[in-house]
Structure 1
Amino acid sequence: MSRYETEDEQVEAIKSWWKKNGTQLLSALLVIVIAISGWRYWTNSQYIDSANTSSLFEALQVNMQRGTFGEVSREALKLIQQQPDSPYAVGAAMMYAKYSLDKGELEEAIAKLTWITENAKDAQLRNTARLDLARIQIDLQALDLAQAHLDFLMKANLKGAGKSVLDYVSGLMAITQSDFEGAQLAFKRVIENDKTEANLLGLAQIQLDDLAQ
C-alpha cells in the first residue's frame, strides 16, 4: 500500500525532497519543506502501477542521494510516461532534470522542466520549473525564452522566498541586457527580503559587489 494516500501528501513529499536535494537548481529555494519521516523502500514488481508508484519514487530518491541515479534513470522515464497524472511523475521529472544538468545535458533538462510546467497540477511546482528554465536559458543566451518565463512569473505575484529567487534571476537577466542599474535594484530586493535563503543572500551580495566595481 502506498504510504501517501492523497495527491496532496504526494505533492508535499516531492516538495520536501526537492528542497533537500535540488539545490543545484536555484529555484528549489521556492519549495516549502514538509517533514515526512519513515519512508520505506519496497517493490514486488518490475512494472509501474498505481500500487507501487510511491515506492518507485522513493527508490529514485535514494539513488539520487547516492549519486547512482543513472542506474535507475530508465525507471524514472517509465514513471513519467506511464503515470503522467501522478504527482510522483513530476518528482521523477525534477530528479531527471537535475541528473541531466549534472551531466551537462541542458537540452534534456529543459525538456523535463518544460514537461513539468505543462503537467504539474501544483502551481508552486510549475513556478519552480519556470524559474529553473529561465536560469538555464539565460546561461544559453536564449534570452527571449527566459524573459517569457520571467514575465509569466512576475504576473504570478510570488511572495517570500519565491520572490527573492525571481528577483535574483531577474538581476541576472538585467546583466545580460547591460541594464546594470536594473540589476542592482533586483539584487538589492533580494538582500532586503527577510525570507531570502542564506546562500542566495550571499550570491546577491557578490553580484552587487561586482557591479559596484
Structure 2
Amino acid sequence: MALTSFEEQEINEIKSWWSENYKTIIAVLILALAGSWGWHYWQAHQVNKAQAMSTEYDNIILSNHSVDIKNAEIDIFVKDNSKTAYATLALLEKAKVATEAKDYSLAATALQQAIQESPDEILASLAAIRLANVQIQLKDTDAALATLNQVKDPTWEARKLLLIGDIQATKGDKTAAQTSYEQAQKNSTPLEQQWLQVRLNNL
C-alpha cells in the first residue's frame, strides 16, 4: 500500500529526529543500566561487608584468647570498622569484662569510646548509661550526672532517672531523689519498678 505524502513526511521527520538524537538516547540507556548495576553492586558489597564484619566480631568475642589479646584485637577491629554498631558492641564487651574485673578505669575509657563510635542514639545512650554506672563506682558522681545528660534515646529514660535519683540520694538530697524515682516509675519496666519502689522505701 502506497504511503500518503503526509505519512511519508512523518516517517522522514522520525528518521531525521532519530538521526539527530540516537546517540543521546543510547548514552542515557547505557547510563541508566550502569546506574542500576552500580546500585545493585553497591548493595551486594554492603551486605558482604556486614557479613564479614559480623563474622570477625564473633571470632573476636567468642575466642578463648586472654583478656589482653582480646582487648588488642578489639582495638584493631574498632579502628578498622569505626562508627559502626559492631565497633560499639565490641567496646561494650571490652567494658563489661573490665567491669567484672573491677578495672573501672579501663571500663570507663572503653565506654567513652563506645559513645563516640555509636552510629545511633540507642547504642550511644546504652553506652552512656553503663559509663555513668562505672563513674558511680569510681565515686565521680558529677561526671556521672554529666554523662547521663548524653542519654537521648527514650528507651533508657527510666534507667537514666533511676541513676540520677541514686546520685541525688548519695548526695543526701532525698527530695530530689524521690522526684527522680517517681518520674522514672512512669515509663519503667516491672523489674525497674521494683528497684524504684525499694529505693523510695529506703529514702
TM superposition score category, shorter chain reference: 0.5 to 0.7
Number of the residue aligned with 2:195:
203
More helix by share: 2
Contact 1:69 1:99 in 2 (8 A): no
Q: Taking structure 2 as the reference length, what is the TM-score of the superposition?
A: 0.67
Task: Give the letter aligned to residue 91 of structure 1.
Answer: L
Partner residue of 2:143?
145
With the length of structure 1 as denominator, give the TM-score of the two structures.
0.64
Q: Give the counterpart of 2:171 among 152, 177, 181.
A: 177
Give the fraction of aligned pairs with identical amino acids, expressed as a percent.
19
> Matched residues in 1 for 2:189 and 2:107: separation?
24
User: How many Å separate the matches in 2 of 1:152 and 1:88?
Assistant: 20
Runs of 5+ consecutive residues of structure 2 not aligned to the other structure:
1-43
- In the TM superposition, 1:12-161 aligns within 5 A as 52-62=52-62, 70=67, 72-153=70-151, 156=152, 158-159=153-154, 161=155
2: CA distance, partners of 1:186 / 1:114 = 25
- Ranked by relative contact order (alpha carbons within 8 Å, sequence separation 6 or more), the top structure is 1
What is the alpha-carbon distance in structure 2 between the residues aligned to residue 190 and residue 52 of structure 1? 40
In structure 1, C-alpha distance between the alignment counterparts of 2:176 and 2:65, rounded to whole Å: 41
Amino acid of the structure 2 residue aligned with 1:210: N
In structure 2, relative to structure 1, the CA distance for the partners of 1:68 and 1:165 (3 Å cut) is farther
Which deviations, in whole Å up to 9, do the C-alpha atoms of 1:48-90 show, x marking residues without a partner? xxx7321021234445xxx977374432232123322443111
Q: For residue 46 of structure 1, what is the aligned residue in structure 2?
A: none
Aligned residue number for residue 186 of structure 1: 180
* Aligned-partner Cα distance in 2 for 1:95–1:81: 16
For 1:96 and 1:186, the matched residues in 2 are separated by 30
- Any unmatched runs of 5+ in structure 1? 11-50
Cα distance in 1 for residues equivalent to 2:48 and 2:92: 20
Runs of 4+ in 1 over 6 A off after TM superposition: none
What's the RMSD between the two structures over aligned residues?
A: 2.7
What are the superposed Cα offsets for residues 141-180 of structure 1, whole Å, 9 maximum, x if unpaired? 2122112123343xx3x43x41111110111111122110
